[in-house]
A and B are shown apart, each in its own frame.
Chain A
Amino acid sequence: MDPRVKAVAAPKVLEQSFLEARSKLLDIAAILDRINRGDSSDAVHQDVKIGRIMEALKILEGKTPHKAEQIQKLFSLPYDANWEIPSPRY
């Protein structure tokens, strides 16, 4: 690990990022409101994408670290280690 790029002190991060986080949370809230306001909103609630968004919000609520990585994996397709790897030809 490069000691020159250690993380910024937590109080400073909060100070610098609070308004940005507030703004992004409002964006998500507004998107969910928009979905609820639209026609056929009941049908959309069966969509797996809504479920993923709700699961992602639960990750934000928890106290575990690496939340960005957890959300990336939540939105990822599963990997099968037994897939058929092609062979080099030469």
Chain B
Amino acid sequence: MQYIDPHIHMISRVTDDYHRMAQCGCVAISEPAFWAGFDRGSVEGFRDYFHHLVEVEPKRAALFGIRHFSWLCINAKEAENVSLSRDVIAMIPEFLQRPNVLGIGEIGLNKNTKNEAIIFQEHMDLAAKTDELILIHTPHLEDKYKGTRMIVDMLKNDSRVKPHRVCVDHVEEHTVKLALDNGFWCGMTLYPTTKCTPARAVDIIEMVGTEKIMANSAGDWGKSDPLAVPELILEMRRRGHPETAIRKVVYENPLDFFRQSARWQEPFSLLNFSK
């Protein structure tokens, strides 16, 4: 089955992962800007990182027939440095018109601090000004519920936000309805120990349905599985869910969300079909 991984950090994965993902049916991915594992010291560090996202990864992905898209921001972990964050936000428009950029993300909260909230709001100001899609990181573990409530508060407090143009990511059992009931898209992250297993993600789908929900691997430099979305496909099949429902979660939903971006390009496989 063809699928899209809507959240994976390929900068920290080897080329073999692209190969295996393509073999498993991956036709497109989107890569949000994230924390590098250390705090970057200057806006130039981010400029180089964004260059990597918009130039290097699309070429590496294309070798395997995978479309690569990206999202730009300074992540919440580095938002405590408000001055650097503002410099990075001011620089982002240099890259916004590049052909594979889908919007602003993954913005969000980490430890739910005042500075993180300020920088989250300033990213939303940029997204409103430039009419970009928004991809949102919700915090980990004990911070997730509180942080997701705070993020929803900020989104609802901003009249410019169009919920159908926002995806709230890393939802779990206690936060999925906060996203869906307020009209946002949501993503479940299939990640060992700290987030959802494929089985729990399918439980969530059985409880809330298949509308406006997608699944991703968030594969990165931590212990993670770039083939986590195919694991979800197998789990849905194991439970007897029909192919149409599986396809909606792993392919049609991300496609519907991403197609709202003016810079979305159809997967190579769809283009070949139309020839």
Contacts and interface: CB of A to CB of B under 8 A. Distances in A.
Do the two chains bind?
Answer: yes
Interface of A: 1-2, 4-8, 16, 66, 68-69, 72-73, 75-81, 83-90
A55 to B, nearest CB: 14
B128 A90 contact: yes
Given A1-B209, A69-B174, A76-B145, A85 B245 contact: no
A66 B206 CA distance: 13
- Looking at chain A's contact residues, is the secondary structure mostly helix, strand, loop, or mixed? loop
Contacts of A86: 117-118, 120-121, 154
A63 to B, nearest CB: 18
Contacts of B122: 89
- Looking at chain B's contact residues, is the secondary structure mostly helix, strand, loop, or mixed? helix
Interface residues of B, number: 45
A85 B239 contact: no
23 contacts: A2-B245, A4-B210, A4-B241, A4-B244, A5-B210, A6-B206, A8-B240, A73-B174, A76-B146, A78-B146, A79-B145, A79-B149, A79-B150, A80-B146, A83-B153, A85-B153, A85-B154, A86-B120, A86-B154, A88-B128, A88-B159, A89-B122, A90-B129
Contacts of A81: 149, 153
Nearest to A9: B240
A80 B147 CA distance: 10
